Structure 1
Amino acid sequence: MVLIVEYEIATPILRRTVEAVSRIDIEEIYQSATGETKLIVWMYASDLNGVESALADDETVQSFTLLEERSDRRLYSVSLSDRGEEHLTYPAAAEYDIAYLDITVTKDTRIRARIPTRDALMAYRDHCRERDIPFRIHRIFSESDAIGDRYGVTEHQREALLAALDEGYFDVPRETTLSAIAATLDISDQALSARLRRGQANLLQNTLRKPDAPDEPGEWDPS
């Protein structure tokens, strides 16, 4: 049964940085050609002056690059340090075919993920606990019962896909550019590209490769 799981973990990753902002949204996690783990992150705050000092002092950050700046937020590319890598749960999630849908960092790290089976969820949870990473589940429900998340597409992904469709981005030849759509949505080209890729992957996974119907509907209490 494919599950949508909302949970919290407590890791030191970006913990020093988030003290200087109201919240951090992680748009993408990937490995560079040199093997570095990189995060594409939005930093939100009413006063952004202390963000880069906090990043420089954050022991989980190796380096960072400002990609875009708005009045209330900045987009950064962040490379993790060895300490950051040690506490990263993304490799374990990938091992168990777990797909992150949304990641928000405040006092804890809140994650919304698609998890293929209950066994995968338990294995991932055990991996976190074995590494002394607190793991707390908030909500679990079957993907087919997800309200407002039809086909596993998040609200941000849905907005991006519909904007691209309406503006003719998927037409042949294209009627618009990625940059034009990104400007309309007030996000960066890189953030829009990530949302479109994830959204299309979710649609394909849940239409052309539609999972089997769950054996029981609604929320599930793992205890």
Structure 2
Amino acid sequence: MVLIVEFEIGTPILRRTVDAVSRIDVEEIYQSETGSTKLVCWMYGDDLEGVEPALADDTTVAAVSLLEDPGDRRLYSVTLSERGQAHLTYPTAAEYDIGYQEITVTEETSIRARVPTREALFAYRDVCREKEIPFRIQRIFEESAAAGDRYGITERQRKALIVALEEGYFDVPRETTLSAVAAKLDISDQALSARLRRGQANLLRNTIGGPAPT
């Protein structure tokens, strides 16, 4: 039975930055064509003017660009430094077909993930320990017991997929654009694109099967 696991890791990634905000939500993790690792992140806080100085001082960050600024939050593309990449556990998760569903950075980095087996979870835990990254499990439950998790998608992914479907984004030819769907959801094009990709990947893994994307 596939598991939904909620856990915390004590990674230094974005640790300096989160001191300047109230919360960071990581929307997407991916590798660029040059081989660098990038995070697409929403930054939340009462005063966001300190975000960019904090990012500049963060030794896990090599470069950053502002993607969206609706006022109450900001969306950034963050390129990890060598130190940041050295502490990244996402490649290990991908190796063991562990799919991240939600990543939130506050005092700790909280992750909600879909894990194929307990053996995969323990292997991931062991790599965290090898990297001297504290690892603490908060909750484990079977996927079938999770409300709304029939197909392993988060509520935000489900909503994005439904709106895109209803607006004709998946029609051939398309009846709407990515930007129009993003506007209805009040999120950026980049955030919607990431949400749709992850939602579709989760749906495919939970219906026709196949390994998690690396």
Q: TM-score, normalised by structure 2?
A: 0.95
Deviation at 1:148, TM superposition (A): 2.2
Deviations 1:91-142 (A, max 9, x none): 1111111111100000000000111111000010011112211100011111
SS in 1 for 2:199: helix
AA aligned opposite 1:190:
Q
Question: What is the distance in 2 between the residues matched to 1:167 and 1:72?
Answer: 27
Matched, 1:115 2:93: no
Q: Distance in 2 between matches of 1:37 and 1:172?
A: 33
SS at match of 2:48: coil
- 5 Å matches for 1:172-183? 172-183=172-183
Residue identity opposite 1:149 in structure 2: D
| 1:3 corresponds to | 3
RMSD, matched Cα: 1.3
CA distance in 2, matches of 1:33, 1:204: 25
Query: What is the alpha-carbon distance in structure 1 between the residues aligned to residue 143 and residue 175 of structure 2?
Result: 34
Shift of 1:82: 1.1
Amino acid at match of 2:22: S
Hey, what's the Cα distance between the residues in 2 that align with 1:209 and 1:127?
26
Matched, 1:77 2:69: no
Q: How many correspondences in the alignment?
A: 211
- Consecutive unaligned residues in structure 1, runs of 5 or more: 211-223
Q: Which amino acid aligns with 2:189?
A: D
1:151-171 deviation per Cα after TM superposition (whole angstroms, max 9, x unaligned)? 111011001001111111122
Where do residues 72-151 of structure 1 align in structure 2 (5 Å cutoff)? 72-151=72-151
Residue number in structure 2 paired with 1:40: 40
User: Which portions of structure 1, spanning 4 or more consecutive aligned residues, are displaced by more than 4 angstroms?
Assistant: none
1:169 is aligned to 2:165: no
**Identity rate of aligned residues, in percent?**
75
Cα separation, 2, equivalents of 1:148 and 1:158: 9
1:45 positional shift? 1.0
Match of 1:55 in 2: 55
Q: Which has the larger radius of gyration?
A: 1
| Cα distance in 1 between the residues matched to 2:90 and 2:198 | 16
Residue range with higher mean Cα deviation, 74-83 or 164-173: 164-173
Q: CA deviation at 1:209?
A: 2.7
Deviation at 1:207, TM superposition (A): 1.9
Q: Compute the TM-score of the two structures, normalised by the length of structure 1.
A: 0.92
Opposite residue 140 of structure 1, the aligned amino acid is: I
Which consecutive residues of structure 2, in runs of 5 or more, have no partner in the other structure?
Answer: none
Secondary structure of the corresponding residue to residue 126 of structure 1: helix
The CA deviation at 1:172 is 2.1
